[in-house]
Amino acid sequence: MKIAQFTTAFEAIAPPSIAWKGDNIGLLIGRPNQAISNILVALDLTDEVIAEAVKKRVNLIVTHHPALFHPLKSITPSTQTGAMALSLIERNIAVYAAHTNLDSVKWGVNYSLAGSLGLRNVRILSPIEGSLSSVTVFVPGTHADAVADAMHAAGAGMFEKYDTCSFRSEGVGTFRGGKGSDPFIGTIGNVERVPEVRLEMLAEQWKLRGIVSAMLKAHPYEEVAYNITPLSNRNTEYGLGAIGELPKAMGRRSFLAMVKKQLRAKALRYTGPDRTIRRVAVCGGSGSEFIREALAQGADAMVTADCKYHTFQEFEHSLLLVDAGHYETEVGVLPALAEAIGTIMSAAQHRGRIFITQSSTNPVHIF
């Protein structure tokens, strides 16, 4: 399997379009046409991770945090990033980053964190907006099923637990073919009135190109009448943070002990009243900006990281706010990431191995 094939397959399950604008994801180092041997997954790229990759004959490292983020003016050993980039290029090791797109999928960082805490009925805390469009096409009734099937196969009309969702209404289409036209129905120069179906479906915007191309291919008309309307609807399939319920309500002390144990955190920073905890919001990494959303959705507690002093102060009387550490709230995604990559590799009948790094890449230490 080549890196380009891997990239295409991976981006179908963690679309780049759902990543934050300005994030630096995708293939950061390497040639798309290079054949993959073994793969190593890690939260961060460090010297230890590179040494492990060399030892395990890995030629593709997949990290959560982008190894290259700020533009480099030189690639020399004088900076840590430059030294690592050089070392990787010299050893023919490619690097791929799945960052905020991995945060925003249901198999990613936040669902893994919710799973570690045993939450049930988990849903996205802050669904993304502006990712959906409505596609409407006018088609003669005889071809409505064929066009609909082609559009569904390209990913239109799929929602959470439903697929093949569409709306059809019947009406009359009119047209007159001009000189040089080849109308499927009627004759050149005549105004035709044809019974047509108005076929509508919702679709994620990154699938539109494929959907339109499949629709045009299945449609009998020379010139197809269709329109695409961007929507402001929230897309509950993707987004940041997660929220769910504990199987059994617990007090503050038991909850803190459970979080500490489950996330293998050496210490927790927290604030908030000693109330019964049932509904819990999570956001792996820096999630302070979603605390208000968690409160609005009735969360009794929120587990995240990188909280500032004044953030603790602001929510001191509102909910149990737990800062469990950036690394600790994200590292649980590595098995899910390795599993997703494993599925891609087996579908391509690739025999290489997938390793989860054995070194802790946490730069924060507790004394």
CB of 305 to Zn ion, least distance (A): 8
Closer residue to Zn ion, CB minimum distance, 108 or 285? 285
Does 287 bind Zn ion (CB under 5 A)? Our answer is no
Provide the angle, in degrees to the nearest 10, between the axes of the packed helices 47-55 and 80-90: 10
Minimum Å gap between C-beta 238 and Zn ion is 17
Place of tokens 């149990």: 320
Residue closest to 65 by CA, chosen among 337, 343, 281, 275: 337
In the stretch 2-21, what mask flags binding to Zn ion with x, by CB under 5 A?
--------------------
End-to-end CA distance of the chain: 45
262 Cβ contact partners less than 8 Å away, ≥ 6 residues apart: 116, 117, 118
- Residue 115 near Zn ion by CB under 5 A: no
Phi and psi of 83, rounded to 5°? -65, -40
Q: Does 285 bind Zn ion (CB under 5 A)?
A: yes
> Nearest distance from residue 15's CB to Zn ion, in Å?
19
Residue 42's SS3 state is: strand
Nearest Cα neighbor of 214 from 137, 287, 112 is: 137
Residue (148 or 333) nearer to Zn ion, CB: 333
Could you tell me how far CA 80 lies from the centroid of its own chain? 29
Rounded to a whole number of angstroms, the minimum distance from the CB of residue 330 to Zn ion is 5
- The nearest distance, CB 43 to Zn ion, in angstroms, is 7
Of the ranges 76-84, 149-157, 191-199, 278-286, which one interacts with Zn ion (CB under 5 A)? 278-286
* Three-state DSSP class for residue 316: coil
Cβ-based neighbours of 179, under 8 Å, separated by 6 or more: 188
The site that binds Zn ion (CB under 5 A) totals a number of residues, namely 1
**228 SS3 class:** strand
Q: Which stretch binds Zn ion (CB under 5 A): 45-53, 122-130, 187-195, 285-293?
A: 285-293
Nearer to Zn ion, 199 or 265 (CB): 265
Residues 6 or more apart from 128 whose CB is under 8 A from it?
18, 104, 234, 235, 238, 239, 240
Stretch that binds Zn ion, among 44-52, 245-253, 281-289, 290-298 (CB under 5 A): 281-289
Instruction: Tell me the closest approach of the beta carbon of residue 329 to Zn ion, in angstroms.
Output: 8
Of the pair 28, 218, the CB lying nearest Zn ion is at 28
Q: Point out the residue whose Cβ comes nearest to Zn ion.
A: 285
Instruction: In angstroms, give the least distance from the CB of 222 to Zn ion.
Output: 51
Q: What are 296's two structure tokens?
A: 């609005």
Nearer to Zn ion, 59 or 329 (CB): 329
Binding site for Zn ion (CB under 5 A): 285
